[in-house]
Structure 1
Amino acid sequence: MSAEAMPATDGPIIRYFEREKLDEIAAPAQKTLRLPFWFSSDRVITVVSACLSIGCLFVIWYLGTRYRINLFIRFQNIPTPHEVFVQAGEVIGSTKFLINIGMSLERILLGFAIAIILGVPLGLLTGRYRRIRELVMPAVEVLRPIPAIAWVPMSIMLWPSNESSIIFITFIGAFFPILLNTIHGVEAMDGVLLRAAQCLGASEPRLFWHVILPGALSQIFTGLAIGMGVAWVSLIAAEMISGQFGVGYYTWEAYSLVNYPAIVLGMITIGMLGLLCSGAIRLIGRLTMPWLAFAPGSRK
């Protein structure tokens, strides 16, 4: 075939494969110049942005307590960062403070794990089957608006110990965000994927494991992140009301003793623990869903 008789589409195709060849030749050079993940410019910008965000809070705190600002917000009785730092130095190494942190972590992990075990499978079934959705959703919509703090008196009557009631309240806080986001993830799936898998002979268990669960996984992890935040709010409230140990109990006890630096230290500890838990969920999500890094529109 002469060059004049060749199809017009051959030109772009040839140029495409030429670019692919050039990319293969340049790939070794690019690999040698690539920086490690932790030293990449994107990672540096992320760390700097996080430091600036948290640093702004400390600057506002320092200036407000340094000059005792008394406008609409009053800083007269707020302890300074130095006072809180001194308080931290006194209690961080103490056994009691570490026990309080350990008790809160144990309660949050137990309640959150139970919420995952019950919420994710129920959400998958509810999102998949209309009859189950008709049976489950009315009860969910009745119970969901009740705040976790309102469950405290009932949970004390329901469960034989304060420890069980606190774990139950933590579970309630995490359960509904996980359940609803799982349902939404299943309902938002492209029906073409389900029909294609069924045409290829996939059974219902295989359909759940290979199609529905991976398709809803992004929304499930969104529910896990939201549920973890609500679980911490519920846990601290329960510990303040009926707990004998925990970071929430430590903070409330400091308020009762008019120990203002200890109150702020308890609040900072709660924030740091919540940050670590949410960061762990995001990390597990990235490891579980590596394909999202290559999805169109994914964040760089």
Structure 2
Amino acid sequence: MVNKRRRLNYILRLLLVFLGMHVVWYVAYLLVHHPMLPSPLEVYQAMGHLGGRDIVLNVGYSLMRIFAGVLLALIVGLLIGLLMGRSALWNKLLDPVVYLTYPVPKIALLPVVMLFFGLGETSKILMIMLILLFQIIISVRDGVKAIPANTYDVLTSIGAGPGQKFWHVTLPGALSVILSTIRISLGTAISVLFFTEIYGTEHGMGFFIMDAWLRLDYPQMYAGILLFSLVGFVLFLLVDLLDYRFMKWRR
């Protein structure tokens, strides 16, 4: 009963913020009074006129690139982070590499990645992976190192093997920080995806928004921005759902 009430209150707060943002938008529309800022009603009408195939195609391409980039970052980042967290030798060897490359602004690498991998899907997915990779490595390493050693001792005393220790202690400890890192980094990854979709593609929300802007179709441009924002919001909810499903011990 308490959990249901909390969820209801959370949904109500989201709706209030959503309505408040639209009120601010409408006031700005009245003050600016220019075609470059259409009213919320015009934008939603433009969204209603979009073909279902166009929406599915553009949103589908963007989601595919995001999921592929996140999956690659998770696989590589989890392996390296676990290795650094469990081995003092590997942490000593890889720590300088991570700290020297992490501060490099990843968006500045976009021309380099496109030079080496072209304008196709590979460069777009790699850019998303690069955004998330180093944060996952550092978070997983720190999360694993923060697990008390006596936790493993308890499992050893009851005869648990390395696989059981990994599954019941190391992975939950790493998963907690992974989900927090993805939640923080997802907005940046989506922003980078927007830039990558401007080049060498005919599908994706970034392409859709820029195409509408170049055609001076401002209602459709804002409709694309709203759809892109909805994609980000759904991904945030998905991370929260994974957190709720796998991190029950934190509650």
**Unmatched 5+ stretches in structure 1:** 1-33, 70-74, 294-300
Query: Where does 1:232-271 land on structure 2 (aligned, <5 Å)?
Result: 232-271=190-229
Q: Deviations over 1:33-73 (max 9, x none)?
A: x58x6xx322221111111122211110011102338xxxx
C-alpha deviation, 1:200, in angstroms: 4.7
Query: Where does 1:207-226 land on structure 2 (aligned, <5 Å)?
Result: 207-226=165-184
* Structure 1 SS opposite 2:36: coil
Larger proportion of helix? 2
Identity over aligned pairs, percent: 28
2:96 matched to 1:138? Answer: yes
**Unmatched 5+ stretches in structure 2:** none
* Structure 2 SS opposite 1:240: coil
C-alpha deviation, 1:198, in angstroms: 4.2
Q: Deviations over 1:169-222 (max 9, x none)?
A: 111122222222212211222232133334555444433222222233321211
Distance 1:160 1:238, change over 3 A: closer
Distance 1:146 1:263, change over 3 A: farther
- How many residues end up aligned between the 2 structures? 251
C-alpha deviation, 1:238, in angstroms: 1.0
Instruction: Look up the match of 1:83.
Output: 42
The separation in 1 between residues aligned to 2:230 and 2:157, in whole angstroms, is 49
TM-score normalised by structure 1 residue count: 0.76
Runs of 4+ in 1 over 6 A off after TM superposition: none
Distance 1:171 1:199, change over 3 A: same
Instruction: Look up the match of 1:165.
Output: 123
TM-score normalised by structure 2 residue count: 0.90
C-alpha deviation, 1:157, in angstroms: 1.9
Q: Give yes or no for contact 2:187–2:232 (8 Å, CA) kept in 1.
A: yes
The separation in 2 between residues aligned to 1:100 and 1:156, in whole angstroms, is 21
CA RMSD of aligned residues (A): 2.2
Q: Identify the match of residue 154 of structure 1 among 112, 126, 147.
A: 112
Mean Cα deviation higher: 273-282 or 128-137: 128-137
The separation in 1 between residues aligned to 2:69 and 2:230, in whole angstroms, is 19
Please identify the structure whose Cα radius of gyration is greater.
1
Query: Where does 1:35-46 land on structure 2 (aligned, <5 Å)?
Result: 40-46=4-10
Q: Give yes or no for contact 1:149–1:234 (8 Å, CA) kept in 2.
A: yes
Q: Give yes or no for contact 1:176–1:227 (8 Å, CA) kept in 2.
A: no
C-alpha deviation, 1:126, in angstroms: 1.1
